[in-house]
A and B are shown apart, each in its own frame.
Chain A
Amino acid sequence: MSNDVTSTNNKKIVKKLLLGVVGMFAFGWALIPLYDVICDITGLNGKTGGRVEVAEAGLLIDEDRQVTVQFMAHHNAEMGWVFEPSVAQVTVRPGEVSVVSYRVTNPRTTLMVGQAIPSVAPNAAAAHLNKIECFCFEEQLLQPGESADMPIRFFVDPNLPASISKLTLSYTLYDITEKSGKAQAVAVR
């Protein structure tokens, strides 16, 4: 019996397999950024990014086409803020820059911090709704009873697929008071 040979071989194979295990563990984590990249390209989950840097002038406006953009506002169940777009929908031409604002009020008796997450339907249109100015992923701190207007400045990409004539932009507001650095900073003061 070549016990020694077997045990060296075993060690080699264990090393390789352990490397495989570590590699797959890392791969699991790598899937997170990978998923975001795929989502960005395909609009997989309808998530839209933050603002884009685009020169406002010089955009080619498609005069022959009209696209309706609808606005929705939600918040998670127990937040209690009053959150509404200023208009229900606007009709725009692709390439044309529009401004719409959302009004938010904190009617609670404590200071709270909210954060709005955007989502676009249909998903395929997510990459074609470009926001020059927006409050996406930004922390909004409101004192009790305080209100704020949160504007978004956006244009619809002229490359929007021809079949799409209506876009829906939805914001979901989340209460992130506990996690927020802003709330803690105020509390210290």
Chain B
Amino acid sequence: MSAHDHHHGPAKGLSRWLYTTNHKDIGSMYLWFSFAMFLLGGTFALVIRAELFQPGLQFVEPNFFNQMTTMHGLVMVFGAVMPAFVGLANWMIPLMIGAPDMALPRMNNWSFWILPFAFAMLVSTLFMEGGGPNFGWTFYAPLSTTYAPASVTFFIFAVHIMGASSIMGSINVIATILNMRAPGMTLMKMPLFVWTWLITAYLLIAVMPVLAGVVTMMLFDIHFGTSFFSAAGGGDPVLFQHLFWFFGHPEVYIMILPAFGIVSAIIPTFARKRLFGYDSMVYATASIAFLSFIVWAHHMFTVGMPLAGQLFFMYATMLIAVPTGVKVFNWVATMFRGAMTFETPMLFAIAFVVLFTLGGFTGVMLAITPADFQYHDTYFVVAHFHYVLVPGAVFSLMAAAYYWLPKWTGYMYDETLGKLHFWLSFIGVNLLFFPQHFLGLAGMPRRIPDYALQFANFNWISSVGGFLFGFSQLILLFVVIKCIKGGKKATAQVWEGAQGLEWTVPSPAPYHTFETPPDPSLIKAQ
């Protein structure tokens, strides 16, 4: 492709989106897709919360309830959170490193467009005879093999496609970051969002193929008579869990590392002060990524591993608290003696630091193996991972959306509505998930459609919070549409304290940017 091809705008109509290789278009499509999936997965969650509003069976049958918990998890993890981060990577990484586009634009188009098909296939299983996947998003064998509904084959193919999409996306991110940086953009000058994504992409390349392997083994067990996970033929169901969590634990960090990058961009902007400890942030991210490969079996403390194994995984897991702690301390030190203002992105970022840390605390508690025997597979775990994923990953995504919306659309969003959205989400999310700690400690197992009477009060509160949080998200939709349609014109700089190349291009960012590399003097240490 030569430079003069670039000087036209986007094509018109549907073909613009179908054939586009423009990183901004593809980024936008990823973001819209993930928001749609967020609403869909949220709807499934509301079915769950409605059923759990009171003891007894009111709305759905237990089997359908299990399909809801499974689909909620799959859609949120693979459909909402991951594509949203990929969307941000597409939009922002080229702008942040001064590149004209992603390194592999045509593959970029392909990795987005296979996603809708994967999810159409996954969701269609709900309408098949025997119902959709009902074995939890962790799909433990043999419940997901010998005892699975017929639709499991479609689930397996859907996971294959999602995996292919993620792998292509990460290859693209790595190639872009390593090859396309503007002159002067050394690795240690890259914004942390780029750093965290680089590490995330490596994680994805390391574990997505393992997930593909696991579901392929399932496929063989179901259709071709092998016994990888069935004791009947000499296999071992626990092997499934080892393989799944070898993928699954790094996957957890795949969903949180880019969030660290976002928060590390927003807090300095609104504190008007450089990020504290940039180098240690990079090293902490790398150590977390490394540790993520040697802690997987802490998800399986109750399967009956030998004592030595339990101890190893307990110690390794506790270690993760150290680099994670460093990050939190650095964010607080960035705020310390800054000159802060509290626009919506900053509110979400501060809430992220507080509530993610709460999730981190329960994470350390869960690492203590004997205590984990009590917490494991209860609502305490549900509360833990929702604290790191909802007010963690999802809040960071919302912070990112508000932070960069003016750059994307060229208009300022409605600050009043943004703040309303923040406060309703903040109250809703805590009402929703905080009581679940109590439920778990009092003995309520996860993934049950009905519960004993002593769990009624906190479930009631949790459901009220769930509906509040869920419906508040429509405000975000409204704010985004309003912002696209118009509003106060945004400047190139947008935020007083913002640093980085993306703020040197006009708002909205032109269809093509950095076709000639930026002036190296613009590239400053973060």
Contact = CB atoms under 8 A, between A and B. Distances in A.
Q: Do chains A and B touch in the complex (CB under 8 A)?
A: yes
Interface of A: 1, 3, 6, 9-10, 13-14, 17-18, 20-25, 27-29, 31-32, 35, 39, 42-47, 76, 115, 117, 123-124, 137, 172, 174-176, 179
A74 to B, nearest CB: 11
A179 B225 contact: yes
B210 interface: yes
Given A6-B103, A10-B179, A25-B213, A45 B207 contact: no
A24 B205 contact: yes
Interface stretch (B230-238, B351-359, B393-401): B230-238
B308 interface: yes
Contacts of B179: 6, 9-10, 13
Interface of chain B: mostly helix, strand, loop or mixed? helix
Interface string B513-526: 00111000000000
B10 interface: no
A20 B515 CA distance: 31
B175 A44 contact: no
9 contacts: A3-B1, A6-B180, A13-B178, A21-B171, A27-B210, A28-B214, A31-B243, A42-B309, A117-B232
Interface in B190-209: 205-209
B306 interface: yes
Contact of B308 (A29, A32, A42): A42
Max chain A Cβ within 10 angstroms of own Cβ: one of B213, B217, B516: B213
A12 to B, nearest CB: 9
A166 to B, nearest CB: 17
Contacts, number: 104
B228 interface: yes
A10 B238 CA distance: 40
A42 B242 CA distance: 15
A35 B242 contact: yes
B392 to A, nearest CB: 26
> Which 7 A-B pairs rank lowest in CB-CB distance, beginning with the nearest?
A28-B213, A174-B232, A25-B209, A28-B210, A24-B209, A9-B179, A17-B171
Nearest to A122: B306
B38 to A, nearest CB: 28
Interface in B210-258: 210, 212-214, 217, 225, 228, 231-234, 236, 238-239, 242-243, 246
A47 B231 CA distance: 10
A24 B103 CA distance: 23
Contacts of A76: 232
Given A27-B209, A28-B210, 12 more contacts: A1-B3, A10-B103, A13-B174, A17-B205, A21-B171, A24-B207, A27-B210, A32-B228, A45-B238, A45-B304, A117-B232, A174-B233
B2 interface: yes
A19 B273 CA distance: 42
Q: Quick one: which of A28, A35, A39, A175 has the most chain B CB within 10 A?
A: A28
A20 B201 CA distance: 12
A18 B212 contact: no
Contacts of A176: 232-233
Contacts of B39: none
A28 B516 contact: no
Contacts of A31: 210, 239, 242-243, 246
Contacts of A25: 209-210, 212-213
Interface residues of B, number: 43
Interface in B463-485: none
B217 to A, nearest CB: 8
A179 B104 contact: no
B97 interface: no
Given A31-B246, A45-B238, A124 B175 contact: no
Contacts of A10: 103-104, 175, 179
B305 interface: yes
Interface string B157-195: 000000000010011001100111000000000000000
Given A14-B171, A17-B174, A25-B210, A137 B309 contact: no
B305 A44 contact: yes
Contacts of B212: 25, 28
Contacts of B175: 10, 13-14, 17
Interface string B325-367: 0000000000000000000000000000000000000000000
Contacts of A29: 213, 217
B375 to A, nearest CB: 23
A182 B210 CA distance: 35
B321 to A, nearest CB: 27
A17 to B, nearest CB: 5
Contacts of B206: 20, 24
A69 B232 CA distance: 24
B21 to A, nearest CB: 14
A46 B246 CA distance: 21
A43 B171 contact: no
Nearest to B170: A17
A13 B234 CA distance: 41
Interface string B1-43: 1110000000000000000000000000000000000000000
B516 A1 contact: yes
A20 B204 CA distance: 11
Given A10-B179, A13-B178, A17-B171, A115 B246 contact: no
A179 B222 CA distance: 12
Nearest to A121: B304
Contact of A179 (B208, B233, B515): B233
Contacts of B243: 28, 31
Contacts of B178: 9, 13
Contacts of B2: 3
A39 to B, nearest CB: 8
